[in-house]
Amino acid sequence: MEPLLVVNVLVFMALLLLLSQLPRRLFHDKPAAHQQWSLAKKVLAGLVIGVLFGLGLQLVYGNDHPILKESMNWFNIVGNGYVQLLQMIVMPLIFISILSAIAKLYDAASLGKISVLIITTLLFTTLIAALVGVLVTHLFALTAEGLTAGTQEIAGLSVIESKYRDKVADWTAPQLILSFIPKNPFADLTGTRPTSIISIVIFAAFLGVASLELLRSNAEKGQRILVAIDALQSWVMHLVKLVMKLTPYGFLALMTNMVASSDIEDITKLGGFVVASYLGISIMFIVHALLLFISGVNPLRFFKKVWPVLTFAFTSRSSAASIPLSVEVQTRRLGISQSVASFSASFGASIGQNGCAGLYPAMLAVMVAPTVGINPLELKWIASLVVVVTISSIGVAGVGGGAIFAALIVLPALGLPVTLVALLITVEPLIDMGRTALNVNGAITAGVITSQLMKQTDKAIMNAEDDIALSQQ
């Protein structure tokens, strides 16, 4: 092993140890109660340390040095390992959360209302995101005319198409809806399909309603089922808490890799698209804030409470992996009921992703349209684009690359070539971080708005100013 590689790994391990001991080091002269930090503060410390360490590595090695790449492979044991642990608990958490929430409803009718409100909010905000995508693309006068893809980009596109497009290229709308219905829930628990999350939600919902029916027909057996569900949920939630305790260390590793591997040259080559994308993302965050304000929620307090979740989504680029954090922040910091939080986090990972399924494909479509003789300013075409984008946002996989998945559905549906996707591969990870944070925020916003409309929000928790840590309780 190279000496410099050993040094990098040892420094990284030392920083992890420092992070674990930081509260005690800073407050060693205080009582034991003051030597403990909330999880949110530890996450912030991990983020800052990761950024500083990443900058140091960038200054020493640049972003393409072999030693740096090998070092990041070791750092990924912590960073990607943490993400994989979150992915490990996603399906069990969704399943038991939905099952428990429905089993405790005692009113199956409210299940439909919750689902309709959440899905409607997600699709509505995705529609707005598509319009914002059209706006910022025109504002920056972005176009694909004159852009050519090199050999590397074409090869990358071939890989992407083989990975994503074959799964959905021939799907009709009825086939897409049919794919939501679980055929083998045990296979869906492994996440084998793009729509596995929705299928598990539906499967758990059916089991939950069945438990309600059993409770009505045979109270004794029904109560046994409810006790078993409650015990299973407690078991899974303790598993979630164990994984959540690793969040600061995962953040440190993820931020280190993100900062150290950023390629300034690639960013500047397609700088206009990057800036336009982040302007669109910022506008959508403002839209979310306005919707929250209209529903009676203080946007500033909301963003303060959800910040750790958005930071994780930004660094991990995975809406699905953010589901456990999303459920936690909704129930413990925003006062949302378990049923609403579980549905919004689950649906939000596959339906109506504002960034990946709304903003991004709309921007690409507007850029490509002039190359095939279409006027992207024509209102009829814009209306068609918005409708296609909104409908296509149903079922987009909540993992890194979901935006490409959406683009490969939308562009062919509008009769547009997909070659522009290849040209944006170099800056895709950078933009995808912001889009994923927007996706997750959209899901949480849908949960909050639904809870407000159904008057189920615990105002004491929602309005609390104290620093309640995720999974602290």
Tell me if 452 is assigned to some domain: yes
- CA gap 398, 356 in Å, rounded: 9
Tell me if 471 is assigned to some domain: no
Q: How confident is the model at residue 393 (pLDDT cuts 50, 70, 90)?
A: confident
Over residues 177-184, the mean pLDDT reads 83
**351 strand-pairing partners:** 394
Tell me if 173 is assigned to some domain: yes
- Lowest mean pLDDT, pick from 51-60, 106-115, 380-389, 430-439: 106-115
Identify the burial level of 232 via C-beta atoms within 10 angstroms of its C-beta, where 0-12 means exposed, 13-18 middle and 19 or more buried: middle
Over residues 308-317, the mean pLDDT reads 86
User: Is residue 448 a contact partner of residue 336, using CB atoms and an 8 Å limit?
Assistant: yes
Over residues 363-381, the mean pLDDT reads 90
- pLDDT for res 301: 94
- Domain with 407 in it: 3-462
- CA gap 435, 140 in Å, rounded: 19
Q: Of 86, 93, 152, whose CA–CA distance to 309 is shortest?
A: 86
Q: What rounded mean pLDDT belongs to the chain?
A: 82
CATH number for the domain spanning 214: value is 1.10.3860.10
- CA gap 294, 317 in Å, rounded: 29
Q: Answer yes or no: is pLDDT of 191 > 80.
A: no
**394 strand-pairing partners:** 351
- pLDDT for res 108: 58
Q: Answer yes or no: is pLDDT of 173 > 80.
A: no
Q: How confident is the model at residue 33 (pLDDT cuts 50, 70, 90)?
A: very low
Q: Answer yes or no: is pLDDT of 156 > 70.
A: no
- pLDDT for res 471: 42
411 or 35, which is more confident: 411
Q: What letter would DSSP give residue 394?
A: B
- pLDDT for res 258: 79
Q: What is the pLDDT of residues 435-465, one digit of tens each?
A: 999 999 999 999 999 999 999 899 999 988 7
- CA gap 241, 252 in Å, rounded: 19
Tell me if 195 is assigned to some domain: yes
- pLDDT for res 452: 95
Over residues 43-48, the mean pLDDT reads 84
What is the CA angle 228-232-237, rounded to 5?
150
Over residues 283-312, the mean pLDDT reads 94
What distance lies between CA 21 and its chain's CA centroid? 30
What distance lies between CA 72 and its chain's CA centroid? 23
- CA gap 64, 75 in Å, rounded: 16
Place of tokens 């909704």: 330
Q: What is the dihedral of CA 133, 135, 140, 143, to 10 degrees?
A: 60
**What's this model's pTM, rounded to 2 decimal places?**
0.76
Q: What letter would DSSP give residue 262?
A: -
Over residues 52-67, the mean pLDDT reads 87
- pLDDT for res 469: 42
Domain count, the chain: 1
- pLDDT for res 6: 92
- pLDDT for res 120: 93
Q: What is the pLDDT of residues 200-238, one digit of tens each?
A: 888 988 898 898 889 889 989 989 998 998 899 889 888
- CA gap 161, 40 in Å, rounded: 39
Q: What is the pLDDT of residues 324-346, one digit of tens each?
A: 889 889 998 999 988 899 889 88
- CA gap 143, 64 in Å, rounded: 30
Q: How confident is the model at residue 131 (pLDDT cuts 50, 70, 90)?
A: very high
Coil/strand/helix, residue 420: helix
Q: What letter would DSSP give residue 351?
A: B
Q: How confident is the model at residue 413 (pLDDT cuts 50, 70, 90)?
A: confident
Q: How confident is the model at residue 415 (pLDDT cuts 50, 70, 90)?
A: confident
Percent of the chain predicted with pLDDT > 90: 33
Over residues 354-359, the mean pLDDT reads 90
- pLDDT for res 87: 82
- pLDDT for res 123: 93
For residues 12-50, b (16+ Cβ closer than 10 Å) or e, as one string?
A: beebbeebeebbeeeeeeeeeeebebebbbbbbbbbebb
Q: Answer yes or no: is pLDDT of 400 > 70.
A: no
Tell me if 468 is assigned to some domain: no
Tell me if 469 is assigned to some domain: no
**Residue 456 main-chain phi, psi, to 5 deg:** -110, 0
- pLDDT for res 403: 76
Q: How confident is the model at residue 319 (pLDDT cuts 50, 70, 90)?
A: confident
User: Is residue 346 a contact partner of residue 201, using CB atoms and an 8 Å limit?
Assistant: yes
